[in-house]
Amino acid sequence: MCGIIGYIGQKKATPILIQGLRHLEYRGYDSAGLAVREDGKIKCVKEVGRIDNLANKLKQSDLEGTIGIAHTRWATHGGVTQKNTHPHFSCDKKIHLVHNGIIENYKEIKNSLPGHKFVSETDSEVLAHLIEKEYKNNGNLRIAVEKALSQVRGTYGIAVIAEDEPQKIITARLGSPIVIGIGENEYFIASDTTPILPYTKKIVFLDDGEIAEITKDNIQIFNIKDEEIKKPIEKIQWDNKSTGKQGFAHYMLKEIYDQPSVFEDAIRGRIKLEEGTAILGGINMDNYQMRHIDRVIFIACGTAFHAGLVGKYIFEKLVNIPTEANIASEYRYSNPTIGENTLVFAVSQSGETIDTLAAIREAKQKGAFVRGIINVVGSTIARETDGGTYIHAGPELAVASTKAYTNMIAVMILYALQFGRLRKLTVIQGQEIIKALQNIPAQMETILKQSDKIKNISEKYKNFKNFFFLGRGLNYPVALEGSLKLKEITYIHSEAYPGGEMKHGPISLISENFPIISPITKNDLYEKMKSNLEEAKARKSPILAIATEADESIKDLADDIIYVPQTLNILEPLLNTIPLQLFAYHMAVTLGRDVDKPRNLAKSVTVE
């Protein structure tokens, strides 16, 4: 949510800032603006709506400056107006800043600044005025920012420029990510790596409490004690090609089609067929420690939580130890019971989810082994956990997650194999799972070939206003994820329930106007799920089934069927979810929705 891009160097800043904002569109936003220093003054241009609106407005201003900051805003305080759009500025307009996060005590700060004129309804604007006050006291922009931030309660990722310090950007973070890209006599500041990759792959990640002073020739980083520190330069492996649409109409469709290849990336080099096991060295635990783990907890939000629910089933099946999946925003406040042999997996695509980050800090405080299952290299959660595994899904730019979900599950399966083989899982059982895993990419391809058929089915259902998703066992989290995808990008109401819960209330809603979508593949709960759908059919509910290839009996029950290849029960979510992703995608396109940037949503949720 919200995005920051800043530039200082020898090139014109404006084209770089606008292009950077476009790379940040996937995060979700409702307005955008930039501030560029030119001819001794800072010139600020803002506009509500899409970045195209801002770009068109900038055609009237030929900004030549080589230093600037820009921002995409997702409203938290105040409506979607030009005044509430970033950058915000001080009373004298000599200091401009962009801010991600929330200033919890902004009203207190505002009341402590008598005589200052505020023009917006935002919490962010108070920072510009507070920095202005401190700057007048000491005349040093970095020190002024440090002193201002010491008075702040909340989270922030900021970039600041000032007219009186013409060749400098100050940036800092606490709970909201900031990365710095290092080029040749130029630097880039951003809220993630995506807008920086076209220019450099050399990155420095700021940690909480750190502040950087950047000129076109140098960067200095200071900690909370105002001590200069040296940070490692990391090289990002993602390339520009992987962040493009590659001929697809939307990022989401491209990322759905990425799944066979990125799934191979997730398991490559991590399996040992002859031993029937997986080796994930990033766990940073020896065999003795792994054998003595007596409880596993997955903590996550949204799609990652649904992956965690799959992980719960798989761990209990293969490892035979108590496992749970918790929503991070609830877990962090639950006073969880943690034993000395508890293993907590933090699951996140972005690695910046604020609730998940707070939850892992709570788990670490109480003595758990905490490991990450993360996509973004160098992200905050990746750095704050004591080990873990990257899922290698590559950049995911559509707001609605697809390929990260299946790769999270892939890594969970590998971990379950590794732990299971140290306990009761036999080599033959392990080999069977590995062989089935190796078939998954080709099976995904067969599902993707049905995209046109799924599009036609979505046309049939586009006018319904409500949907039920029903599933049992491992297909219950599949139903949850399918329902979430439909809500996210079509704005159609849908609910997901375990099949056995339908009779405990939801059945009262079922009618000919309330379709049911159900993954009902051939597994040990097939007959139970079939009975649930019979009850729905008796009440005239249209039924769309995700069924196993060659299942003829389902034709008597379902109005529409999407077939998937047969696989092991524990691997079914890897296949059964893809038709639901495609169904939601095609439905959204049919309804004219903004598929990659659905309303009100943000890719990376960095505030509570």
Tokens describing residue 472: 């049992």
pLDDT at residue 241, as a whole number? 58
Active site residues: 2, 603
pLDDT of residue 78: 80
Q: How far is CA 255 from the centre of its chain?
A: 14
Q: Please give the pLDDT value at position 2.
A: 81
- Got the DSSP string for 535-570? HHHHTT--EEEEEETT--GGGGT-SEEEEE----GG
Mean pLDDT, range 484-512, rounded to an integer: 91
Percentage of the chain beyond pLDDT 70 is 97
Is residue 195 helix, strand or coil? coil
- Give residue 239's pLDDT: 62
Topology given in CATH for the domain delimited by 450-598: Rossmann fold (3.40.50)
Q: What are phi and psi of 529, to 5 degrees?
A: -65, -35
Interatomic CA distance for residues 279 and 294, integer angstroms: 20
Is residue 338 over pLDDT 70?
Answer: yes
Res 607 pLDDT > 70: no
Q: Average pLDDT, stretch 325-345?
A: 91
Average pLDDT over residues 203-232: 92
Q: For the chain, first and last CA: distance in Å?
A: 11
Report the pLDDT averaged over residues 62-72: 92
Give the pLDDT band of residue 604 (cuts 50, 70, 90).
low
**Structure tokens given for 427:** 């080599």
pLDDT at position 606, please? Answer: 58
pTM to 2 decimal places: 0.80
Answer whether 3-236 and 450-598 agree in fold. Answer: no
Whether 589 has a pLDDT exceeding 70, the answer reads yes
Q: How far apart are CA 191 and CA 169, in angstroms?
A: 15
Q: Burial code of 262-300, b = ≥16 C-beta within 10 A, e = fewer?
A: bbbbbbeebbeeeebbbebebbebeeeebeebebbbbbb
Of 574, 605, 521, give the one whose Cα is nearest residue 267. Answer: 574
Residue-range domain boundaries for the chain: 3-236, 241-442, 450-598
Question: How far apart are the C-alpha atoms of 160 and 70, rounded to whole Å?
Answer: 10
Of the two residues 536 and 607, the one the predictor is more confident about is: 536
- Check residue 76 and give its pLDDT: 75
Amino acid at 246: Q
pLDDT class of 333 with cuts at 50, 70, 90:
confident
As a whole number of angstroms, the distance between CA 308 and CA 408 comes to 8
The phi, psi pair for 314, rounded to 5°, reads -65, -45
pLDDT at 602 over 80: no
For residues 122 and 183, give the distance between their C-alpha atoms in angstroms, rounded to a whole number: 34
Query: Which two tokens mark 209?
Result: 């409490």
Is residue 85 predicted with pLDDT exceeding 80? yes
Q: What is the pLDDT of residue 247?
A: 86
Torsion angle in degrees (nearest 10) through CA of 362, 368, 369, 371: -30
Asked if the model's pLDDT at residue 132 lies above 80, the reply is: yes
pLDDT: is 311 or 598 the higher one? Answer: 311
Q: What is the pLDDT of residue 506?
A: 83
Residue with the larger pLDDT of the pair 519 and 62: 519
Other Cβ atoms closer than 10 A to 53: 14
pLDDT at 1: 59
* pLDDT for 24: 85
Give per-residue pLDDT as tens, 251-286. Answer: 999 999 999 999 999 999 999 999 999 999 899 999
Q: With respect to CATH, is domain 241-442 assigned 1.50.10.20? A: no
Which of residues 12 and 503 earns the better pLDDT score?
Answer: 12
pLDDT number for residue 388: 94
Q: Which residue has the higher pLDDT, 606 or 299?
A: 299
Judge: domain 3-236, CATH 1.20.140.10. Answer: no
Residues 548-585: tens digit of each pLDDT: 999 999 999 999 999 999 999 999 999 999 999 999 99
> 395, 243 in Cβ contact below 8 A?
yes
pLDDT of residue 477: 97
Lowest mean per-residue pLDDT among 480-489, 499-508, 524-533: 499-508
- pLDDT at 243 (0 to 100): 63
Residue 389 and residue 282 in contact, taking contact as beta carbons nearer than 8 Å: yes
Lowest-confidence pick of 123-132, 534-543, 561-570: 534-543
Segment 76-80 shows an average pLDDT of 80
3-state DSSP helix/strand/coil % of the chain, to nearest 5: 40, 25, 40
Q: What is the CA radius of gyration of the chain?
A: 25
pLDDT-derived band at 134, boundaries 50, 70, 90: very high
What pLDDT sits at residue 444? Answer: 98
Is the pLDDT score of 347 beyond 70? yes
Q: What is the pLDDT of residues 404-455, one digit of tens each?
A: 999 999 999 999 999 999 999 999 999 999 999 999 999 999 999 999 999 9
**pLDDT tops 90 at residue 603:** no
CA 463 to centroid of chain Cα atoms = 30
Please enumerate, as own/partner, the contacts of 52-61 that have beta carbons within 8 Å and a separation of 24 or more.
Answer: 54/18, 54/21, 55/18, 58/14, 58/18, 58/34
Mean pLDDT over 510-527 rounds to 93
* Sign, CA torsion 481/485/487/492: negative
Residues 6 or more apart in contact with residue 125 via CB below 8 angstroms: 88, 118, 119
